[in-house]
Amino acid sequence: MKIFNNYKRNLCVALTAATFVSINSGCKDFLDTQRQGAYTADNYPYPQGGTPYDQFLFSAYDALRAYNYVSDGFMVVTSIRSDDADKGSTPTDGGADVIAMDNFPALTNGRVNSLWTEYYAMIGRCNTILDKVQNDKDIIATDQMKIQAEAEARFLRGYSYFVLVRAFGRVPKIDKIQAVASNVPQSTPAEIYAFIESDLQFAATNLPAVWDKKFVGRSTKGMANGILAKAYLYQQKWNQAMTTANIVMTSGQYDLSTPYTTIFGEAGENSKESIFEIQGTASATVPTNNGIQYASIQGTRGSSTEWNRGWGWNMPSAMLEAAYEPGDPRKTRTILYSSTASTPSTTIYGQTAPLFPTDVPNTKYNQKVLANPTYIAMYNNRAGWWMNVRILRYADVVLMYAEAANELGGTANTTAALAAVNSVRARARAGNNSILPDVTTTDQTALRNAIRQERRIELAMEHERFFDIVRWGIDQDAMIAAGKTGYNPNRDRLLPIPQQQIDLSKGVLTQNPGY
Amino acid sequence: MKKIFTKFSVLTILCLFLFSVANAQNITVTGSVKDDGNIAIPFVTVLIKGTNRAVQSDASGNYSISAPSNGTLVYSYLGYITQEIAVNNKTKIDVTLKADTKNLEQVVVVGYGTQKRKDLTGAISSVSGDDVAKMPAVSPLASLQGKVAGLTVVNSGGAGSQPVIRIRGIASTNDANPLYVVDGLIQDNIDYLNPADIESIDLLRDASSSAIYGLRGANGVIAVTTKRAAKGQTRINFTSNVGVQKVLNKIAVTDAEGFKKLYSTQLANINAAPFDFSNYTGNTNWQDLILQNAIINSNSLSVSNTGEKSTTLINLGYNNQDGVVKYENFQKFVLRLSEEIRVTDKFKIGGDFTGFHSKYNPASAGLNNALWASPIVPVQTNASTFYAMPSFQRAQVGNPIAALERNNRSAINKNFRFNGSIFAELKFLKNFTLRSTLYADYAFGTSRGFSRPPFTFINVGENGGATTTTKDNLFRSTVTQGQSESHRYQQDHTLTYEKSLEGGHRLTAMAGFTSLRFANSSVSGSRTDSTLVVPGDPDLWYLGIINPNNIQSNAGGGGEESNAGVFGRVSYAYKDKYLFNGTIRRDGSSRFAPANRWGTFGSVGFGWVASEEDFFKNNIKGIDYLKIRTSWGRLGNSNSVPGNLYQQGLSTGSTAIFGDNIYTAVQNAYQPDPNLHFEIVQGTDIGLEVKALDTRLSADINFYSKTTTGLLTTFPLPAAQGGLTYFTNLGKNTNKGIEATLGWSDKIGKEFSYSLSGNFSYNKNRIVSLGNTTEFQITGNSGINLTSTGQSIGYFYGYRQVGIYQTAKDMLSMPAFSNSQLGDIAYEDINGDGIISPLDRTYLGTPFPPYSYGMSLSLAYKGFDALVEGQGVVGNKIYTQRRTANFATLNYESNRLNAWTGPGTSNVEPILDNTRGNNFLFSSYFLEPGDYFRLRTVQLGYTFGKTLMTKIGAQRLRVYVSGQNLKTWTKATGYTPEAQIGSILGGGADNGVYPVPAVYTFGLNITF
């Protein structure tokens, strides 16, 4: 019994000691668990070679391919809303949200919110990179690396704000990572444009003119100057627009040598025509993950296996069809006509087009996003996720130059404008001198109309039209002509600020007029 | 440090083995045990006080035990008041046990120990395992619905599915799930248990009762005690029930005629060309085709034995449930072994082992798919040729039966689980008990599947076109395989001091230490064959069947966390009149930054049993027992907080593409909050327990108030912040409520007894403040639900319908949107500015039922017994989100047959026109009352008499028929009106909730 007692005492001491020692000191380690199978900012092993910011930069390029950033929301807002395109597909397909985009007013949630969200997600990733460049002392990098990373991030951010300001007008200017999120009110369009200019100017100064082949499509001087020129154009800063467009035109990187028929297909990707193309790729083993859904949303909505390529949205409108000059070969490169019982139609790849109305519900589709059957066979997939999205083409810059020059006026500028617009027409002519005669007028108004017409046709279905007619102030007439009678310029030039975002901000964000 | 922990526990266990004490001088005592009606009671435990030696009375109530001549025998049996009788050299002791109508001797789990009900000062309710086992349900929790005040159970009808459980409202904006403790083992669910193997379920509802669980118990604790071997005898028990489940309430949708009418109207309304229905001759009720009457079957066999030194219990369970949605099936096999060895009178060791295996075949068709598919399409022409949907929904809606057949038996999901514990318990120095328990829990999951080639589809000719068939010739078959694993180690060590002093003082003090470590990992992969079609033979569904040079992908992940704490409890009672309980816990969790890891929690509780006072006994007649108790407790809540959110996590899933080159990328996974800490929950509770009129009447009434501060919230930051999620602590919310349980039980004559009971609870949830750390609005379900100061969590926020714009005059006289049109929903102009704008949105109700109630009536006459139970809720709203889908032309729910077609045609249903966005805004049009009353159970049983049973060697046989969910009274239009409250910030949405079927069962329970 004595042994027992001794033991008991010892045990109690041991227990007590063990317990409290454990709690007070030892548990510190016991309770230190780490994230499993996931990095933190503290243990991320930055790869050797390249710049240490590359991995974060690449996540911003990843955001370029996001569903609404470039496919659904973007396409609906920039194209279906215009007089040159209709929703397409069956009458009720897609529901109120997209139907309202076609004939106004847009709903205050849904797609509008998705678009807003994904553009700010991109801006968030850009701001993360800028934060790393400025504040992360753990990253060892040369000044040159820092400047280049900053330039890439600011290009992508500047471009994103340019889409936002055109779509929404007043948007909040988020220019850095916020440790504690604060409720930022909207800035005026002028403030946003100033911010865009400073981002794009920095990018234009510090980005390389060209990348090694393995980085084709990565941000360049030409991209920054091209988008900057357009930002000037939208503000009617004609002088800067012309000068900046001219920098691109004299950079030696781009020309009009690529035939119009080649530009939009797989073979025309990253050609001399291409300034800013969002890049997608595919393989037989990974047909969609590394691509973009852009072409699939607009693909033919066939019941036959061959033509079941997508939703059939973004149908070229009768207005666009009627806008072409006689014999302009760009018309059939842009519009894919469905076959009818009496009139078979052929695609640019020589296939017989699907039959309307039995196979497909619409008479026209966007031929610029039609995938080449060779690639379909190669990737064993019909959805065309591998097709790059042309955001800025060289012809666009040339026409911006022409427009700015004409607006500035004067003989020299008029001559320059004529030369520019005719260079685009010359390519479109493709050697057939009986069509598309040179523009010769030197009357500013007539030339303005000619340049606008050229812009509409050359860049048809390429996301310019809606914003162009708004900035030209011809939106109301154009929309009414196109039968979009719901259009009210006082309201519909801008999208509604997403109600969900207004709610989240407790009313710090305010709605655009008319909604 | 992990090592030290392990060493420490092993040392403790080993030490306990070293003890050995013995003594003798025994005589044999025999006798019989009867109740006050002079009827023999079998299975009464006769225990030698201060030891673990016990026997049981036999079928005639007789017992025989070898006991010390100066010892004391303790006679106990559930439902009777325990009696102690000194042996005093007597060799024959006959005992009469009095029924314990007050339930005071019942033992309940209080966290790292047990306590007698009479000593409680907190709100703990108990449900007996028998009440759970006799219900046809695979999940033991499902059967608790409506049985306990303050407990909300939202059942799902899915095979093997788990209900959503809430105790006393929603104390957190992050996670409101209670903690489960199974025989001491901390768990997140109890789906691995066999319902027939549960002895009792104790619900620790108030903060004082669960405070000893520190960071885990803030949402209440459900403590499950599994069955132990009955003492003194070998017993075999077999229970089985088999039933049919049937969906009674289908969702009313249009048939072919109705669909054609509505779609034509809609096209006309939007000036579109009419649709060519000429070749669509079908009239298919897709719901009927994907739903089925489904079998449910549960079986359980247990064998228990008590020897001189050991008790053993073996239990085998098998459940098989088909889903009412084809071809869902869930099977579960449970094996449990519980063993206790009494090494000496003072020292025992034992252990538990549970093996669990489940197989799951998911439903192969979607309920929404069946609701959406147009009824004008026939199903199929043969086993591999199906009709495609019409062009207006072909791209978005597939043929539901084609999907059903294609997915059927294309996957194998298996889960395995092994858990158990070993314990050693030593009593020493009369008053001390040292107990150490080590737990381990291993879970494994495997899943394999393949994709079956698509069928041939018939495209019915539209607009004069020919009918064609298509078959996807680009199909490539994919095989998937995944494995997951988790393991959990827990150790509990407690030292208890128990002492009764002269003059009626009883004291129990306990101190302990616990730690828990949890880790999991998973891998999964898929390969797609570019040349072959993989056959539908499960033997082939392994990744290796496909050449690795094909398309493949894989993924893997894991997690780790740990908890540690010290705790103590003091219970004191004076003359069973004045009661005190106090607990304290210091607890730490690895989920938070070192500075925010630890917290101190605890509780105090006081009870006064007024009926024990002399003045009460002398003056108040009719009341047999009256106890008033009050308590306060403080806990932390860290449930469901992902680990390490205080650090900046990165995610590696994205890629940049340049040309055809693919580059991996990394980005921030979320916005970190370096100061993230647990929520603090504090609650006070006042309770009243009364037994009156010879204990025929019982009442238990509780008032509670519970406050949560530092609410953990996954914050939906405005998108402008970059779209990352932000997890942080916000303000404060309260839950206040009343719980009342009333019971009446009596006998009429000798043979007929009945009891009636009802429970009612009211809970008011309110956000007191959202703190000053955010300037943003908290929303849920894309802005449908708001959480803001002064209202309940996640209330519905939108427009209120006042009618339909009938005439042009209406449009002029009623407030409207600038683009409102005739036939649109007219909303209320809440702010009175003459127009409808987002400023007119308002509070439209709460998704969480504030009132819930349950009632039951049970009858017994001779061998017959009957049970009727009902249950319901009042005061919440259901959001019929399933009706808001309009991405394509979908089949219409029948309410649309009443759509507005001109002045006076409807003042509720708007015009058929899916281009009118104003009618899709969230409004009261999409809300319906969530009130319901459900006839939950009707059961009729018969127990065969002993005489008959003895002939076949059995002791007892009960057979019964039972009906569950036989009838539901509600205005809700979904498959079930049960509030969908699994989501806290965005609750209450019916997105096609799985039906809760009626179940018709036959069962038996036989004991040998």
CB A334 within 8 A of CB A390: no
State whether A93 and B888 contact (CB < 8 Å): yes
Kindly list the residues from chain A whose CB atom is less than 8 angstroms away from the CB atom of residue B474: 305, 380-382
CATH topology of domain A1-107+222-487: 1.25.40
State whether B665 and A59 contact (CB < 8 Å): yes
Q: Could you tell me which of B21, B422, B112 has the C-alpha nearest to residue A8?
A: B21
Residues 6+ apart with CB under 8 A from A13: none
Chain B residue nearest residue A90, CA to CA:
B392
Strands (E) in A118-266, as ranges, are 171-172, 186-187
Q: Is the pLDDT of residue B453 over 50?
A: yes
Kindly list the residues from chain A whose CB atom is less than 8 angstroms away from the CB atom of residue B916: 96
Chain A residue nearest residue B918, CA to CA:
A107
Residues 6+ apart with CB under 8 A from A160: A119, A122, A123, A126
Kindly list the residues from chain A whose CB atom is less than 8 angstroms away from the CB atom of residue B388: 303
Average pLDDT for chain B: 90
Q: How confident is the model at residue B398 (pLDDT cuts 50, 70, 90)?
A: very high
State whether A26 and B718 contact (CB < 8 Å): no
The parts of chain A modelled with pLDDT lower than 70 are 1-28, 46-51
Q: Nearest CA to CA, how far is A105 from chain B (Å)?
A: 8
Q: Is the pLDDT of residue B919 over 60?
A: yes
Q: Could you tell me which of B914, B917, B884, B910 has the C-alpha nearest to residue B803?
A: B910
For residue B465, give the nearest of A38, A172, A357 by CB distance: A357
Distances B183 to B16, B223, B570, B583 between C-alpha atoms, Å: 20, 7, 21, 20
**Cα(B356)–Cα(B333) distance, rounded to whole angstroms?**
6
Give the pLDDT confidence score for residue B103 in this predicted structure: 66
The domain ranges of chain A are 1-107+222-487
Buried b (16+ CB within 10 A) or exposed e, B432-459: bbbbbbbbbbebebebbbbbbbbbbbbb
Give the pLDDT confidence score for residue A49 in this predicted structure: 53
At B489, list the tokens. Answer: 């180690």
State whether A90 and B391 contact (CB < 8 Å): yes
Identify the sign of the CA torsion A335, A338, A339, A343: negative
Q: Nearest CA to CA, how far is A500 from chain B (Å)?
A: 6
Burial class (CB in 10 A: 0-12, 13-18, 19+), A72: buried
Kindly list the residues from chain B whose CB atom is less than 8 angstroms away from the CB atom of residue A107: 917, 920
Instruction: Kindly report the three-state secondary structure assignment for every residue of B233-288.
Output: CCEEEEEEEEEEEECCCCCCECCHHHHHHHHHHHHHHCCCCCCCCCCCCCCCCHHH
Q: Nearest CA to CA, how far is A503 from chain B (Å)?
A: 6
Kindly list the residues from chain B whose CB atom is less than 8 angstroms away from the CB atom of residue A91: 267, 270, 272-273, 392
CB A286 within 8 A of CB B551: yes
Give the pLDDT confidence score for residue B232 in this predicted structure: 60
Kindly list the residues from chain A whose CB atom is less than 8 angstroms away from the CB atom of residue B563: 31
Kindly list the residues from chain B whose CB atom is less than 8 angstroms away from the CB atom of residue A46: none
Q: Nearest CA to CA, how far is B558 from chain A (Å)?
A: 5
Kindly list the residues from chain A whose CB atom is less than 8 angstroms away from the CB atom of residue B920: 95-96, 107
Q: How confident is the model at residue B8 (pLDDT cuts 50, 70, 90)?
A: very low
**Cα(A255)–Cα(A272) distance, rounded to whole angstroms?**
6
State whether B656 and A281 contact (CB < 8 Å): no
**Within 10 A of B919 (CB to CB), how many other CB atoms are there?**
23
Chain A residue nearest residue B428, CA to CA:
A8
State whether B594 and A178 contact (CB < 8 Å): no
Maximum alpha-carbon separation in chain A? 120
State whether B776 and A509 contact (CB < 8 Å): no
Convert the pLDDT of each residue in A218-269 to its tens digit.
999 999 999 999 999 999 999 999 999 999 999 999 999 999 999 999 999 9
State whether B783 and A499 contact (CB < 8 Å): yes
Strands (E) in A260-321, as ranges, are 274-278, 313-316
> What is the rounded average pLDDT of the residues B39-48?
81
At B128, list the tokens. Answer: 């007996």
In a mutational test of the A interface, the residue from B666, B887, B921 whose CB has the highest number of chain A CBs within 10 Å is B666
State whether B723 and A118 contact (CB < 8 Å): yes
Give the pLDDT confidence score for residue B573 in this predicted structure: 95
* pTM, entire model: 0.88
Q: How confident is the model at residue B231 (pLDDT cuts 50, 70, 90)?
A: low
**Cα(B803)–Cα(B904) distance, rounded to whole angstroms?**
11
Kindly list the residues from chain A whose CB atom is less than 8 angstroms away from the CB atom of residue B664: 55, 58
Q: Nearest CA to CA, how far is A255 from chain B (Å)?
A: 20
In 3-state terms, what secondary structure has residue B907? coil
Kindly list the residues from chain A whose CB atom is less than 8 angstroms away from the CB atom of residue B528: 285
Give the pLDDT confidence score for residue B866 in this predicted structure: 95
Number of Cβ pairs < 8 A linking chain A and chain B? 344
Chain A residue nearest residue B672, CA to CA:
A179
Convert the pLDDT of each residue in B110-157 to its tens digit.
999 999 998 999 999 999 988 888 888 888 898 899 999 999 999 888
Q: Nearest CA to CA, how far is A103 from chain B (Å)?
A: 9
State whether A94 and B15 contact (CB < 8 Å): no
Give the pLDDT confidence score for residue B472 in this predicted structure: 77
State whether A358 and B888 contact (CB < 8 Å): no
For residue B658, give the nearest of A29, A172, A216 by CB distance: A216
Chain A residue nearest residue B471, CA to CA:
A305
